[in-house]
Amino acid sequence: MYDQIEDYIRNKITVTDDELKTILSYFKPLTPKRNELLVTHGQTSQRMFFVGKGCLRIFFINEEGHDATRYLAFENNFATGMVSFITKEPSLEFIQALEETELLYITQDDFHYLLETIPSWEKFYRYYLEMAYVTNTNRLMSFITMDAKERYKQLLSQKPDVVQRLPNKMVASYLNISQETLSRLKSKI
């Protein structure tokens, strides 16, 4: 798994071998059980996760009491409750391991220490924030400009893993539609 994160980091920024060794020394392994919650509503998101195997889901509970999935992180992706991680305030989100998952994590304090001591880590963080912004903006635009069928077709073309690996309940939550609507869409497409 350390090879995976090393490749990921090297593909995003230029680092010396010593810098990379220092960065990786702050990441610790974690193997949550399937469906285990790593962060719950009201906790502060104090860790950033790298998914070596499996899938993490970041979600909210809406006013009707239904979960709404904001982000799915499969292999070779980072995930955290970003607002809480940045502000150090209690999270409004949950982070859940959906499958048998193998993670590496870095604490908020260690992450910020690296920002202070390794200049290229700041470039990595900027890249991460920019990609998070693009991802969140594209998702928001899809909810505003596309109907359920268009969002489902986009998901099939851009992220087929979501449909192939996750149960309908999770796919529907990610698309912000009911399971019944998802079933109708699947039968038509």
pLDDT band at 64 (very low <50, low <70, confident <90, very high): confident
Domain coordinates in residue numbering, the chain = 2-116
Contact between 97 and 54 (Cβ < 8 Å): yes
Do 91 and 83 meet the contact criterion of CB atoms below 8 Å apart? Answer: yes
Q: How many other β-carbons are positioned within 10 Å of the β-carbon of residue 110?
A: 17
Distance of alpha carbon 136 from alpha carbon 140, whole angstroms: 6
- Which residues, at least 6 apart from 70, have a Cβ–Cβ distance to it below 8 Å? 58, 59, 60, 93, 136, 139
| Segment 105-157, tens digit of pLDDT | 999 999 999 999 999 999 999 999 999 999 999 999 999 999 999 999 999 99
- Taking the C-alpha atoms of residue 75 and residue 79, their distance in angstroms, rounded to an integer, is 11
Considering the entire predicted model, what is its pTM?
0.92
Q: 2-116 has which CATH code?
A: 2.60.120.10
Work out whether strand 77-79 and strand 37-39 pair parallel, antiparallel, or are unpaired. unpaired
Residue 188, pLDDT above cutoff 90:
no
3-state secondary structure of 71: strand
3-state SS of the chain: helix, strand, coil percent to 5?
Answer: 50, 20, 25
Around Cβ 135, how many Cβ atoms within 10 Å?
12
Summarised one tens digit per residue, pLDDT across range 72-94 is 999 999 999 999 999 999 999 99
